Amino acid sequence: MSKKILILPGDGIGPEIVAQARKVLDVLIADGLDVTISEAPLGGAAYDQYGAPYPEFTQNLARAADAILLGAVGGPQYDTLDRPLRPERGLLAIRKDLNLFANLRPAILYPELANASTLKAEVVSGLDILIVRELTGDIYFGQPRGIRVNANGEREGFNTMLYAESEIRRIAHVAFQAAQKRGKKLCSVDKANVLETTEFWKEIFTEVAKEYPDVELSHMYVDNAAMQLVRRPKQFDVMVTGNIFGDILSDQASMLTGSIGMLPSASLDQNNKGLYEPSHGSAPDIAGKDLANPLATILSLAMMLRYSFNDETAALRVENAVKAVLAKGLRTADIYEEGTEKVSCSAMGDAVVAAL
């Protein structure tokens, strides 16, 4: 049966960048990829049309889809709305509704863009790591939490770091399977020397590792991991960690590559149903000008092919087309440097299609 893809263009540059990914998808479909495509609004676009950022129309299609491609949501025209109506709430709502607990953020630095990083080119050139962040648990959600007056009459703030065994197991399986599809090395990041929650995390990962004998599991304390990420980032293949450590480490890793327009992401559920989107926002400052870099969105589509459709061949085909376009010297404004050729968003999409 054909797989169902739902496209959510969203706001700002969303429709422009998603249109380029759609061109790529159309080539794959013409070559035999068996998918059907539907489209729905999310965020501000959904508010404009239905009065809510994640309306029932979108929800029904999202629940029925096998994979979702999102542009980005948000814009200054929505900043005065009540919080529950804001575009960003639509994004939080869809992630929660679909139980997308596994956030995959690759940090890849194509050799042609080595100068975009703030780190020395030899440290980061050719960098290709994947951070897997648990997204629905940990100290961000643990109860009890709050601000209270303690027995001494002093005010105190408190949160609870909490992971159920089932939550650790399911993210472990996603991480091991992601490592199997890549360099077969998995580094689990914890603070097991101080925090019981992460000591437990480490214990479960060691147990799950027995089911993946082809993957080499290592453990690293989070403070050391932060240091190693800037010292020698290429030592890593896949890193996996909880929500709070992953929040910090994934942002740190993404900036090794220096260019937000190049960074895809995936958020997966237990059955590898996923929401795929660029890591950047809706860039209202350049929206409607055909200036945006569509490559993060096109690379998000490649992740969809890999993780939701298990089609490594098609994923590599798309990624290689992106590499070919960069090797040819084509650059959107955000990654332009002297000696390269500046192209528009749609021209970049056309170039990727040609390279396919």
Binding residues for Mg(2+): 223, 247, 251
Q: In what order do the strands lie in the sheet with 3-10?
A: 35-39, 3-10, 67-72, 274-278, 264-268, 102-108, 128-134, 238-241, 185-190, 216-221
Which of 293, 301, 294 minimizes the C-alpha distance to 318?
A: 301
CA-CA-CA-CA dihedral for 61, 322, 92, 51, to nearest 10: -60
Active site residue 54: no
Q: How far is the CB of 235 from Mg ion (least distance, A)?
A: 23
Q: How far is the CB of 171 from Mg ion (least distance, A)?
A: 17
From 31, 48, 97, 251, active-site residue: 251
**Contacted entry of Mg ion, ligand NAI, none for residue 258, CB cut-off 5 to 8 Å set by kind:** none
SS3 track for 129-164: EEEEEECCCHHHCCCCCEEEECCCCCEEEECCCCCC
> Which class for 342: exposed (0-12), middle (13-18), buried (19 or more C-beta within 10 A)?
middle
75 binds ligand NAI (CB under 6 A): yes
* Binding residue ranges for substrate: 95, 105, 133, 223
From 50, 140, 221, 336, active-site residue: 140
Residues at the site binding Mg ion, with contacts judged by CB under 5 A: 247, 251
Q: List the x/- string, 228-267, binding to ligand NAI by CB under 6 A.
A: --------------------------------xx------
**What are the residues facing 278 on neighbouring strands?**
264
| Ramachandran class of 50: left when φ > 0, alpha when ψ lies in -120 to 50, beta otherwise | alpha
Can you tell me which residue has the tokens 């958020």? 267
* Binding residue ranges: 75-88, 95, 105, 133, 223, 247, 251, 281-293
Q: List the x/- string, 157-196, binding to ligand NAI by CB under 6 A.
A: ----------------------------------------
281 binds ligand NAI (CB under 6 A): yes
CA 303/CA 312 separation, integer angstroms:
9
Active site residue 251: yes
Task: Report the run of H or E that residue 239 belongs to, with start and end.
Answer: strand 238-241
Specify the amino acid at residue 133: R
Among 7, 69, 73, 132, binds ligand NAI (CB under 6 A): 73
- Nearer to Mg ion by Cβ, of 248 and 316: the residue is 248
* Interaction site with ligand NAI (CB under 6 A): 13, 17, 72-75, 88, 91, 260-261, 277, 280-286, 292-293, 296, 334
Instruction: Report the catalytic residues.
Output: 140, 191, 223, 247, 251
